[in-house]
Structure 1
Amino acid sequence: MRGADLTRLHPRPRPSSAGGAGEWCALVSWVRAGFRVRVETGSPGGEPDRVVWRQRSVSSAKEWVGMSMKIRVFAGVAGEGLLVAGCGGNGDGGSAPAGSVAASESPPGIAPGEPDPHGVRYRVAGALPKGPEKAGVYGVDGSVSRGAAERLARALGVPGGVRAEGGEWRGDGLTVARQAPGAWSYVAEGGKCTRGKGCSAPGETEAREAARPVLTALGLAGAEVGADEVQGTSRVVEADPEVDGLPTDGWSTRLRLASGGEVVGGTGRLHVPRTATGDRYPVRSAADALAALNEGAGKDGTAVPVSRARFGLAARTREGHPVLVPAWLFSVPSQSATLAQTAIDERHLGSGEPRHPGGPSSAGPGATSRSVPPVSYAVAGRELSLRFTGGVCARYRAHAEEKGGQVRVRLSEEKEPGKVCVMIAKDLTRSVTLDRPLGDRTVVTTAGKTVPAA
């Protein structure tokens, strides 16, 4: 039986509490002889600066689980299972999160700490909700006015207003795309915490209260808000807008608040679609969407509970433009995630909805690589962020070549063939640092096709 060389999969790597850098959540491969663990050290959003492989026998792995890791079943194939492991060092001991499949909760006939070789099946207790017979796609056209960009700047506390530079509005640390929906990013110089003072991240309640005026100014007073993510001495408040009475996934505004409650960073889209445009399409049932989510898993796979199923909207792309499409949103507590399954036939979305389901995200022996088309871009200083649709398991990298008045970009996808992965497409972003700010240069693909600003 062979093992697999696997790397990061968790959508939100968690650094240690010591600061911005730390030990990332890693993926564990299971073989009959034990566990092989890849642990990465680095800063969130960047490439690892140190990679350590740790081999553990079954007995010592279980001991390690009890001491410093939370393990739950994520996916699997016959004879080989995949586990997602949350790295230790966050001060909460070795207890597994509520609703997770921990080592002590193995299904009958499977040793503690070992995954179910039949895979994972998402299951809902009770009746699934009913959705509408038909639903439309929500989009937003046009441009972002100076007034709208300045309202955002005032809400964030950016001094001096904004100025037009190429296809963007720019302020002190703030960049807003002038093309709707107005993707924006903000990075402040830093919070009030002085070096060596030992500041800690604000609490959830404090962060929510500090973010409330900003969210209200952005028209997100009624949004669904979460504040459980900590990045060093900052806490992230994430707001998902409600559109036409429906919850959304992937159209989030994220604010990073320092220990004093001041906003020191953020990203989002300035305009939120409010009405459906064009045709209305037949909606598949929640049961059909759940069945599609479980494609490829064995009938006897480990049951992963879905705590909630809602009909809503998920961010996707159509004809190169960000849109919100009808979707079923499944809340999975054990994975700390919402899985969005498109509720209409994806042929209605055209070529703007490419599917790139990847294998595990390591470029190990036999790994294959291909290019993925970027949908749009955003810039903040010298950082160029490429947005695209990809799978949850593959590893993606952004590349840029600067020549004259153009910046040629490429997104590479690396995956190992023959590996099982949940068939979910997500809107993703990968960044690359340019030699100088983009300015009025054009962003194009290697084939010469212009990439639009987000």
Structure 2
Amino acid sequence: MSGTENVRRRRSVIAASVAAGVLLAGGGGVYLATTASGDGTGAGAAAKAADAAGPPTPLRLEGGSGDATGGGDTRGGPGIAPGEPDPGGGPNGTVYTAKGPLPQGPSSAAVHRPEGLVTSAEVTRLAEALGISGSPSLVGEVWTIRPEKDGSGARLDVARKAPGNWTYSWYDGGPAGDACLKGRACPPPGESKPAPGGTPLSEAAAKAAAAPVLKALGQDDAKVTATGVVNGSVRVVNADPVVGGLPTYGWSTGLHIARDGRAVAGSGTLKEPAEGAVYPVIGASKALAALNEDAKGTGPIGVGHCPTAPPAVDGNGRPEDARTGGTPAPGHVEPTPPCQTIVDRAAPDQVPVTAAVFGLAARDVDGERLLVPSWLFTADPADGAPYTVVRTAVAPEYLVPPSKPSPEPTPPPGDGTQTARVVESVRVQGDGRELAVTFWGGVCSTYTVKADEQPDRVTVRIVEKTDPDRVCIMIAKDFTKTVTLKSPLGDRPVVDAASGEAVPRR
């Protein structure tokens, strides 16, 4: 049987019962498995369509062929959320060890990709759930509902193109200081800014307050957490939706719930991704082995070589043979012991894996954000809180090997220009022509903001310039830089040149 025929056969034979995940119960090593039965729809229908179309196109994952991702996913590819551990550990790496048998999972699964356009009715449904009145208007490629008159109140922006990235916030339209830029929700008109502190809603109450919004998004079956608190009194609700019957990672909805149960900020996606091509997938054991291969250490860093011991001398300062104590023979060279630093001798970090769930993780594929079949492992280190580590489950033969980076030409002296940073938020100041743009950057770089004005939008770009001869520590901080427009911003949306998405106003 040829390789192509074998792949088709594996894709067409979908297991009637799919082991979606396992959880370690108690300390007895018993695993509980959840299953999803096939009924000829969903993955089965997609498999038949894939059979008719032939083998699926190999995926070119940005950032590697299947590398691990720990913590939250960030825009622009796999990464590590602030405060989350590096899944690769330190210089000596990490070894993830399953505390019990791991599931095989399904034999194949579909990627899911954004398709279509967001409609006015879909935006209106979300707005009503958030308590926003008014009808959405299309400004360029962004649906928007914004305050009238003095610009105070609630604002909702939704990208028209799927998956319909949306942002929602309250703002007062005037100078609000650094507090609003750094995440505090600005109050609606007529209300004073909430004082710092206070007791936030309970987790249960915050989840209940978020439920109508999640239902409007079609995410009422999402996995919901509400452990975070910002500003001392605003409860953060995060929801990871279920897509195609599978849990997701990196595709979450976030809502900030005030003490009165009102949503004061939020973001997410409005349109559920559609099922795409079906790929053969590997089981959790193989995925964990690949994860450990990815998590190997980089070796000692910051040490050029071991210190060399001074040559042995006798009491008169003449060279001495360390073996005999006498004068060394002509041409004799003392043997050098192998160089081992403390880092070399340290063992890799050992981290138990207490759960393995088959799901979908957000990955950048050829410049497009997709949900890719993946294994979601729960790592539970002895000295820290549990965290999720993700490994792509698509069979290796259907992943394009990462290409070796081509040598880049040496920039001319003084040319330290970098690619643009992603814009976090923007605030309109003064007469409406001045934009205060907030973003994260490095402490050793200098930044300028450029604005490209069009009749239907204003595109902002952050230009970073570094000194290529300067040694700098890798520390990030938030910056706010201003740029002056030729005419007042008015109703035009602000678009980030780096991501192509609408920038939330603060």
TM range (shorter): 0.5 to 0.7
Aligned partner of residue 229 in structure 2, secondary structure = strand
Superposed displacement of residue 292, structure 1: 3.6
Within a 5 Å distance, the mapping from 1:55-94 to structure 2 comes to 75-77=89-91
CA distance in 2 between counterparts of 1:354 and 1:385 reads: 34
| Partner SS, residue 211 of structure 2 | helix
Are residues 301 and 198 of structure 1, via their aligned partners in 2, closer, same or farther at CA, if it must alter by over 3 Å? closer
- TM-score by length of structure 2 reads 0.52
Residue 125 of structure 1: aligned partner: 99
Amino acid at match of 2:156: L
Match of 1:190 in 2: 187
What is the aligned counterpart of 1:134 among 97, 101, 108?
108
1:149 and 1:378 mapped to 2: Cα distance?
Answer: 22
Q: Give TM-score, length-normalised by structure 1.
A: 0.57
Task: Say if 2:165 and 2:267, in contact at 8 Å, map to a contact too.
Answer: yes
Tell me by how many angstroms 1:178 deviates: 0.8
Residue pair 1:386, 1:398 contacting (<8 A) in 2 also: no
Q: How much has 1:215 moved relative to structure 2?
A: 1.1
Change (3 A) 1:217 1:193: farther
Is the 1:313–1:327 contact (alpha carbons within 8 Å) kept by the matching residues of 2? yes
Residue of structure 2 aligned with 1:304, choices 351, 360, 367: 351
Aligned ranges 1:335-414 → 2 under 5 Å:
335-344=385-394, 371=418, 400-405=449-454, 407=459, 409=461
Q: How large is the Cα RMSD of the aligned pairs?
A: 4.9
The answer on whether the counterparts of 2:142 and 2:158 sit within 8 Å (CA) in structure 1 is yes
Query: Could you tell me which residue of structure 1 aligns to residue 336 of structure 2?
Result: none
Match of 2:255 in 1: 255
Q: What does residue range 29-44 of structure 1 map to in structure 2 within 5 Å?
A: none
Distance 1:347 1:260 in 2: 53
Contact preservation (8 Å) 2:362, 2:370: yes
Greater shift after overlay, 248-257 or 279-288?
Answer: 279-288
Name the residue aligned to 2:245: 245
Q: What's the secondary structure of 1:340's corresponding residue? A: strand
Q: Which has the higher contact order (CA 8 A, sep 6+)?
A: 2
Q: How does 1:375-454 map to 2 (within 5 A)?
A: 400-405=449-454, 407=459, 409=461, 435=484, 437=489, 439=492, 444=497, 451=500
For residue 167 of structure 1, what is the amino acid of its counterpart?
A: E
Q: Label 1:319 to 1:432 Cα distance change in 2 as closer, same or farther (>3 A).
A: farther
Give unmatched runs, 5+ long, in structure 2. 1-69, 74-81, 147-154, 171-185, 300-345, 406-415, 429-435
The 3 A distance-change label for structure 1 pair 139 and 197 is closer
TM-superposition CA deviations, 1:408-442 (whole Å, max 9, x none): 6358699999x9xxxxxxxxx99987656592677
Kindly state the Cα deviation for residue 311 of structure 1 after the two structures are TM-superposed: 1.2
Say if 2:162 is the partner of 1:180: yes
- SS of residue in 2 equivalent to 1:230: strand
- For 2:200 and 2:230, locate their aligned partners in 1 and report how far apart those are by CA, in whole Å: 8
In 2, Cα distance between the equivalents of 1:72 and 1:453? 30
- 2: CA distance, partners of 1:177 / 1:227: 26
In the alignment, what sits opposite 2:218? 219
For each residue in 1:10-32, what CA deviation from the matched residue of structure 2 results, as whole angstroms up to 9, or x when unmatched? 869xxxxxxxxxxxx889xxxxx
SS in 2 for 1:407: strand
Q: Which amino acid is the alignment partner of residue 439 of structure 1?
A: R
Contact 1:193 1:260 in 2 (8 A): no
Cα shift at 1:326: 1.1
Q: What displacement does 1:136 show?
A: 2.4
Sort the Cα spacing of 1:72 and 1:133 in 2 relative to 1 into closer, same or farther, 3 A: closer
Q: Do the aligned partners of residues 221 and 177 (structure 1) sit closer, same or farther apart at CA in structure 2, a change above 3 Å counting?
A: same
> Does the 8 A contact of 2:226 with 2:237 survive in 1?
yes
Match for residue 164 of structure 1 among 138, 141, 148: 138
Partner of 2:13: none
Q: What letter corresponds to residue 141 of structure 1 in structure 2? A: E
Question: Could you tell me how far apart the structure 2 residues matched to 1:313 and 1:398 are?
Answer: 37
Aligned to 2:330: none
Q: C-alpha distance in 2, partners of 1:132/1:177? A: 34
Once the two structures are TM-superposed, the CA of residue 380 in structure 1 deviates from its matched residue by: 6.9
2:375 aligns with 328
On the 8 A contact 1:169/1:178 being kept in 2, the answer is yes
Residue in 2 that maps onto 1:111:
none
Whether contact under 8 Å (2:448, 2:463) holds in the other structure is yes
Once residues 460 and 404 of structure 2 are traced to their aligned partners in structure 1, the CA distance between those partners, rounded to angstroms, is 23
Q: Is the 8 A contact 1:309 1:330 kept in 2?
A: yes
CA contact (8 A) 2:187 2:194 kept: no
Residues 123-168 of structure 1: per-residue CA shift (max 9 Å, x gap): 2211122122332210121111011011111111112232221111
Tell me which amino acid in the other structure corresponds to 2:370: V
Shift of 1:185: 0.6
Q: Output the CA distance in 2 between the equivalents of 1:263 and 1:385.
A: 23
Structure 1 residues 435, 128: closer, same or farther in 2, change over 3 A? farther
Q: Is the 8 A contact 2:72 2:250 kept in 1?
A: no
- Cα deviation, 1:34-87, whole Å, max 9, x if unaligned, reads xxxxxxxxxxxxxxxxxxxxxxxxxxxxxxxxxxxxx9998322xxxxxxxxxx
**C-alpha separation between the residues in 2 aligned to 1:373 and 1:134?**
38
Q: Which residue of 2 aligns with 1:3?
A: none
Mapped to 1, the partners of 2:451 and 2:295 lie a distance apart of 43
Q: CA deviation at 1:401?
A: 1.1
Aligned residue in 2 for 1:288: 289
1:61 paired residue number: none
Distance in 2, matches of 1:326 and 1:394, equals 37
Q: Which has the larger radius of gyration?
A: 2
1:243 counterpart letter in structure 2: V
- Tell me if structure 1 keeps the 8 A contact 2:87–2:389: no
Please state which structure has a larger fraction of its residues in strand: 1
Secondary structure, aligned partner of 1:129? coil
Q: How does 1:264-275 map to 2 (within 5 A)?
A: 264-273=264-273, 275=274
Match of 1:86 in 2: none
2:40 aligned residue? none
| Deviates most, 287-296 or 144-153 | 287-296
Segment of structure 1 superposing worse, 196-205 or 158-167: 196-205
Three-state SS of the structure 2 residue aligned to 1:235 is strand
